[in-house]
């Protein structure tokens, strides 16, 4: 058995004028609760240090204060220090502005000693680039972020760990690319408004779709998934909560019940992934790459070789 106690540290709204120090205090409080409940890894949401600023369209230069230019930085170092003191790892979502001026929506995985394991850059950037006046609120992520181009996995926490951010979770290849690298634990942070302007008929299905994609991704790749929301009404926009921990069976084994700051904890056995990876989803035995290649030849739609 390879037991690991993981915590989904859901957050309620972060106000636009809530300073980094106040937000980090909330993250520390969640970390302490997770640690008291035995967690060895605490997972925070997407953009966990700021409000979800892509709901507004502004000049990039006006948005710079929403980005981190270093991690840890002056306000976040205490999080790394406390994690090291408690011997707990964490995964933190934030907006990153690199020294070269590149902007990414990232997830940063830190081990129990406070050392960085890896940084993932969100691949599927949803929404739009230009201001769109017909929307109730903007979802201008394509204005604020460029896409990453890979779903790597890392050896950490005695297992194989991958990361994804929000819209990535709706795409099967997100899980499959990591699954093909043996991912046993997939960490996902999200901010999902309950109102979807391009097609409001989907509004009532937000919770269903959230569970559907994460439960399917876990099951079809024999992996645990930890999905963590920033929920509740933030700057007038209501967002889905329902953070959850999903087993390779596709079953939800822990779930948040509020829309605010809350911790859901589960002790998982990473060896349980074999129950699916070595049976129904034995990729080496049952996948038929030639069939995918034939489809590619017939349709002309090319898949990169590593994805088939
Ligand atoms: N932050 C996100 O990526 N949100 C998206 C939008 C499209 C609602 C999501 O897939 O949840």
- Which of 51, 53, 190 for mutating ligand 1's site (highest number of atoms within 8 Å of CB)? 190
pLDDT of residue 292: 76
Domain segments of the chain: what residues? 3-307
Query: How large is the average pLDDT for residues 259-268?
Result: 98
Give percent of the chain with pLDDT exceeding 90: 93
Taking residue 26's Cβ as centre, other Cβ atoms within 10 Å add up to 17
Averaged pLDDT for residues 124-150: 97
- Separation of CA 126 and ligand 1 centre (Å): 6
Report whether 272 contacts 266 (CB < 8 A): no
pLDDT, mean of residues 41-62:
98
Q: What is the DSSP string of 116-157?
A: EEEEEE-----S-SS--TTSSS---HHHH--------EEEET
pLDDT at 302: 67
Ligand 1: residues with CB < 6 A are 46, 126, 166-167, 170, 190-193
The residue whose C-alpha atom lies closest to atom 6 belonging to ligand 1 is 192
**pLDDT digit string (tens) for 149-162?**
999 999 999 999 99
Predicted confidence (pLDDT) per residue in 67-110, tens digit: 999 999 999 999 999 999 999 999 999 999 999 999 999 999 99
pLDDT score recorded for residue 306? 55
Instruction: Give the C-alpha distances (Å, rounded to integers) separating 76 from 22, 123, 193, 273, 300.
Output: 11, 25, 27, 34, 48
| pTM assigned to the model | 0.96
CA of 176 to the centre of ligand 1 (A): 20
Q: Are 107 and 93 in contact (CB under 8 A)?
A: yes
Output the CA–CA distances (angstroms, integers) from residue 120 to 164, 186, 187, 266, 291, in the order listed. Answer: 7, 12, 10, 24, 31
- Give residue 44 CA to ligand 1 midpoint distance, Å: 16
pLDDT 10s digits, 170-194: 999 999 999 999 999 999 999 999 9
Q: How many residues would you count in the chain?
A: 308
pLDDT class for 278, splitting at 50, 70, 90?
A: very high
Q: Please name the residue whose Cα sits nearest to atom 10 of ligand 1.
A: 167
- As a CATH number, domain 3-307 is 3.60.110.10
**Please, what is the average pLDDT of the chain?**
96
Query: Which residues are designated catalytic?
Result: 46, 122, 166
pLDDT at 230 over 90: yes
């Amino acid at each position: 058995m390879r037991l690991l106690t993981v915590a989904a540290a859901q957050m309620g709204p972060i106000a636009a004028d809530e300073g980094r120090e106040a937000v980090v205090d909330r993250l520390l409080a969640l970390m302490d609760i997770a640690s008291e409940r035995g967690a060895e890894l605490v997972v925070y949401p997407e953009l966990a240090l700021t409000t979800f600023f892509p709901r507004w369209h502004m000049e990039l230069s006006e948005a710079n204060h929403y980005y981190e230019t270093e991690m840890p930085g002056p306000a976040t170092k205490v999080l790394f220090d406390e994690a090291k003191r408690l011997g707990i790892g964490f995964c933190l979502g934030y907006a990153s502005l690199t020294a070269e001026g590149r902007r990414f929506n990232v997830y940063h995985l830190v081990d129990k000693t406070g050392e960085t394991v890896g940084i993932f850059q969100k691949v599927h950037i949803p929404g739009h680039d230009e201001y769109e006046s017909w929307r109730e609120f903007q979802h201008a992520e394509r204005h604020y972020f460029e896409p990453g181009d890979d779903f790597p996995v890392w050896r950490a926490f005695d297992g194989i760990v991958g990361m994804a951010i929000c819209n990535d979770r709706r795409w099967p290849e997100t899980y499959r690319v990591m699954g093909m690298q043996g991912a046993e634990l997939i960490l996902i942070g999200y901010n999902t408004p309950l109102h979807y302007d391009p097609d409001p008929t989907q509004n009532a299905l937000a919770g269903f779709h959230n569970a559907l994609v994460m439960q399917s991704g876990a099951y079809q790749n024999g992996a645990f998934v930890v999905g963590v929301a920033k929920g509740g009404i933030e700057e007038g926009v209501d967002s889905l909560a329902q953070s959850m921990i999903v087993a390779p069976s596709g079953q939800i084994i822990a779930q948040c019940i509020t829309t605010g700051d809350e911790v859901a904890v589960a002790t998982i056995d990473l060896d349980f992934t074999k129950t699916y990876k070595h049976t129904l989803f034995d990729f080496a035995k049952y996948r038929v790459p030639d069939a995918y290649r034939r489809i590619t030849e017939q349709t002309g739609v090319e898949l990169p070789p590593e994805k088939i």
